[in-house]
Chain A
């Protein structure tokens, strides 16, 4: 945003974003299109796009003279394509929810626009209509860090509706940061699922020639249109190269890198399948297959938001649990250390989590234990302190990631009473617990 001083000057000179202006300083002048001022730089810089395409920022002061040269030349319009529907191909619905895959740098009518319209993406990925008979459902455009359980609920309802209306599979474009939370939520919420539900996104925005969006979208569509997988999962790059994409079970996926294309990894699990550039699907893990059942998909979307995900660490203050209990929280997932430890040594006053855990359980809250090592299984017996926690009623969440355990507990408490939720927390419901972790399922 421009400073109010500049905004007034533009008003006075009848200059709008996109107009060609001339900015004169003491001894030189610059001519070009007036661009919006983003939050990145000074709000007193007049940003001009010169004929060469370069932007330059001219700091405004009393000596700067500004004149309008001409009005906006052309309205910016991005190329787009409507996918042509081929009814002989399997019907795939793409549900659009926002994120990097749907963002671009663009100056629209006077502002910075951040949304790629689905049709624009189709222009760059002409392969899609050759894989499936595609239709679009633009559900919402939200950055994934801003998503809440209410969007998960909307999404689960939308997926169930599309499949019950005849979709062979569903692709969901989604921001990557919390994609694994959404994937876990859908895994628990969708009952009688008999079709592939594929979340995908990108680590490089789709306005870059190097974006991973194109291949991720193609691979996700291939899984939705051609696989016999009846599960929710995430389909993104399997390596830094544009060579194969992995489809990872929704309850076992985790974003393990801030920026790499192959950020999503199967934790304590293998990917279910890989999709290669030639379109082939190679199945490598066990999975639930599409069956003959004609039962409708049911979205059981009830969710208890009063669940906290807490991380213990050296010097951590356990009184934080008290804060949540006072607000009526019904569940806690602790991201402990190693095999599932939390500080319980009473020698350090006020540092033991044990009394707080006990008081939470005493108020019938459910307390689940996971590990911040991410990989591996927690264990209630190996060391005495673990046994102490276990005896206090903490549920050791096997090999679940902290995020999946969090989503699962919220879903359980939304649908069951505390007692039943506690019983089910470490029982497998949607592939979130793997009884056998094999040697190769580490840093995969």
Chain B
């Protein structure tokens, strides 16, 4: 991985031919969805009316081309099951009714954002359908509208062009995924999203992160964005000279964005090195042969298990690949993992390759010898084995061969998703879609942007500097204010300080520093509902609990669903103060049976009642 301190080395990235652009998707907090009248807010426990199941096929766009990513998804032939939540889904989401009029409230937010990035608004917006056949939309497309083009922002001295802002529909969330069936909940389907794109000339991974933070702030300043997990997502496009454009999709933690980008650069570098080595070794990829017979009753369990269930095993030679399948391209990811990602798309569990520890799999010497002779392996050759159900194995082998062959060509155009959030690595999701998947949404009328509409949007233009001033005026710690400004917690901070009497400094400190600390400690603090957080700070502001108890309760709340009031009772966290505290001091004294110094009293009380007693109050009482 690139070393710290070199991350912002513009020259180094320039030499690499580094290209990087961002696409930021943010859910809007409008009253209704984008193209229907369902509420845009997601209820906590929706009642389900039933399920609907569908299949989708890849179809041609208006110019007659079938998109490669759509075709790829169709090959997977999966069944999509949609839950039907009563409150948040009508016939529009279920693809059983044409769209309603575009949501004007969402359009206003997009226009204001466009204004704040100095963009040019399109005169007549043309609703489009973007084909998506992974099932996340029952209609097999996402409705999307280009709102404005050609803007510019300045972040940390970098002037970045903002080519476009779109208004589009959110997709459904996956509830569960089986081999050939995915269940979706369409409650969030159709919530308005804005997509804001940068041009591909972001100079360094660090700048990418800074720009993402800035745009995130801009969105939150609009006041019309949803908060909580998944409400903002960053897609990053990365390539280097000789490499290829790869889109990393759905990054939720902007803090790690630079590391993901660095790793993608590294991956492309390594794959290009591998390509050169393969050329040198005159590498090629053979067709697969059936080796089912060889492995019947074998001690290689992961193959034998499939054969016992009437499965098959296919193997193929990769001429000149020896040592390269096991070559690391990213932390804990090898060329073998890249090929395996493709095979897995055909419903197999993965593959075994010869750069792995074969003895650990249980291969016997005899099996390896027979495999060598059947595949005609020579020095420098590698092999792959894939086992599973026959039709799956046949497709998996085809996908693996194509990917292995591409290692000789370069880097495939891909959409990738997170493989490991800690290591900041990615895995293949599907081929990168092309422009063929766009066609007009003829069920919705074009929207003429009138002068009046523009004027209304202009007056509500967003101002990040102004927001910063407001924060600095309220918070004593300047660093904290700046951190809060770019944090996704900003709207939460604003909501809590508006609805409770809690000290803004304390709230900011908790949401930024304490949350980070607890998150690192493995507590899912980000999933605590806003309503309960407001209750927590309100209990604190009313003197019902101590500061220390707030820490403790945050941990409890991340694990349990009980109300704050109940948790305070269960964990006995009610604050002891005033007369209660005086009584406690007297009781402690009496129990000790001797005269105690103030220090002794403090130590005894705090060791027992650390979470219930406020240290400052105790000190004041003891010093009397």
Contact = CB atoms under 8 A, between A and B. Distances in A.
Interface of A: 25, 27-28, 30, 38, 40-42, 45, 47, 49-59, 74, 76-79, 105-107, 120, 124, 203-204, 206-211, 214-215, 239-243, 258-261
Nearest to B51: A241
Given A54-B438, A204-B95, 15 more contacts: A38-B442, A42-B446, A42-B448, A53-B438, A57-B123, A57-B124, A57-B126, A105-B62, A124-B59, A206-B59, A207-B59, A208-B129, A208-B141, A210-B139, A214-B57
Contacts of A77: 64
A209 B133 contact: yes
B435 A53 contact: yes
B60 A260 contact: no
B52 interface: yes
A107 B59 contact: no
A438 to B, nearest CB: 25
A50 B146 contact: yes
Contact of B62 (A45, A74, A107, A240): A107
A57 B96 CA distance: 29
B310 interface: no
Contacts of A30: 149
Contacts of A211: 57, 59
Contacts of B130: 53
Contacts of B131: 209
Nearest to A257: B96
Residue from B74, B126, B437 having most chain A Cβ neighbours under 10 A:
B126
Nearest to A120: B60
A261 B140 CA distance: 15
A240 B446 contact: no
20 contacts: A28-B120, A28-B149, A42-B448, A52-B438, A53-B436, A54-B128, A54-B144, A54-B438, A56-B124, A58-B124, A78-B64, A79-B64, A105-B440, A204-B139, A209-B58, A211-B59, A242-B53, A243-B53, A259-B97, A260-B91
B63 A240 contact: no
A76 B131 CA distance: 18
B128 A209 contact: no
A210 B138 contact: yes
A41 B139 CA distance: 23
A60 B445 CA distance: 19
B122 A56 contact: yes
B120 A27 contact: yes
Interface string B433-473: 00111111010011010000000000000000000000000
Contacts of B94: 240
Interface in B139-191: 139-141, 144, 146, 149-150, 164, 166
Top 6 nearest A-B pairs by Cβ distance? Answer: A57-B124, A53-B438, A209-B140, A41-B446, A53-B435, A59-B123
B442 A261 contact: no
B150 A41 contact: no
Contacts of B123: 45, 57-59
B125 interface: yes
Given A207-B439, A209-B70, A56 B62 contact: no
B55 interface: yes
Contacts of B51: 241
A204 B64 CA distance: 18
Contacts of A45: 123-124, 446, 448
A106 B164 contact: no
A309 B111 CA distance: 51
Given A45-B123, A105-B439, A208-B140, A242 B55 contact: yes
A210 B438 contact: no
Nearest to B163: A52
Given A57-B124, A58-B124, A241 B52 contact: yes
A76 B59 CA distance: 14
B63 A241 contact: no
Contacts of A51: 435
Interface in B541-567: none
A85 B611 CA distance: 82
A229 to B, nearest CB: 26
A61 B538 CA distance: 58
Contacts of B223: none
A206 to B, nearest CB: 7
A107 B63 contact: yes
A338 B196 CA distance: 57
Nearest to B56: A209
B57 A40 contact: no
Contacts of A124: 57, 59
A51 B434 CA distance: 10
Contacts of B74: 209
A331 B63 CA distance: 50
A346 B156 CA distance: 85
B57 A59 contact: no
B446 A57 contact: yes
Interface string B321-334: 00000000000000
Interface in B453-495: none
A74 to B, nearest CB: 8
B440 A55 contact: yes
A211 B129 CA distance: 14
B98 interface: yes
A59 B130 CA distance: 24
Nearest to B140: A209
Contacts of B448: 41-42, 45, 57, 59
B114 to A, nearest CB: 12
A209 B78 CA distance: 13
Contacts of B138: 210
B66 interface: yes
Contacts of A208: 59, 129, 139-141
A41 B124 contact: yes
B54 interface: yes
A87 to B, nearest CB: 28
A30 to B, nearest CB: 7
B434 to A, nearest CB: 8
Contact of A259 (B58, B96, B141, B438): B96
A40 B442 contact: yes
Contacts of B126: 41, 47, 54-57
A63 B150 CA distance: 19
B448 to A, nearest CB: 6
Contact of B54 (A25, A74, A107, A241): A241
Nearest to B129: A208
A77 B436 CA distance: 13
B91 A259 contact: yes
A242 B54 contact: yes
A25 B122 CA distance: 11
Contacts of A261: 96
Nearest to B124: A57
Nearest to B133: A209
Contacts of A49: 438
Contacts of A41: 124, 126, 445-446, 448
B526 to A, nearest CB: 33
A327 B437 CA distance: 54
B122 A58 contact: yes
Given A54-B126, A209-B141, A210-B138, A76 B63 contact: yes
Contacts of A74: 63
A47 to B, nearest CB: 7
Contacts of A242: 53-55
Interface in B92-135: 94-98, 120, 122-126, 128-131, 133
Given A210-B56, A210-B139, A55 B149 contact: no
Interface string B56-86: 1111111110100010001000000000000
Nearest to A60: B123
Residue from A51, A56, A59, A107 having most chain B Cβ neighbours under 10 A:
A56
Contacts of B139: 204, 208, 210
A286 to B, nearest CB: 30
Contacts of B149: 28, 30, 56
Contact of B96 (A54, A79, A240): A240
